[in-house]
Amino acid sequence: QVQLVESGGGLVQAGGSLRLSCAASRSISYINAMAWYRQAPGKQRELVARITSIGSTNYADSVKGRFSISRDNAKNTVFLQMNSLKPEDTAVYYCNALYRSNPYWGQGTQVTVSS
């Protein structure tokens, strides 16, 4: 199993930045892929960014050029750097890990972007 704990959410004005962190309970070197999803009120959960064990990344079109996902294997942590935030980025952000074909989720962290 993998336990995931997110942190770094909060309230920020449009145009501002936040960095989310996701700490895993086991070495992320052996986790196939880690990702950030988000869910806004009344909407489905959507993929924001993903990073594989070999460092390949992909992003939702809506965040390309503004968000960056990275990993620190030594700290078993994945980060999501969010720049140029927009009100439409407001959501609960969830960390996800795909380990041995099983998905694991964190509890989520709220990001609110005011206009």
* Cα gap 51→42, rounded to integer Å: 27
Q: Does the pLDDT at position 91 exceed 90?
A: yes
* Cα gap 115→108, rounded to integer Å: 23
Residue type, 15: G
Average pLDDT over residues 63-88: 97
pLDDT, tens only, 31-46 = 889 999 999 999 999 9
Q: What are phi and psi of 77, to 5 degrees?
A: -135, 140
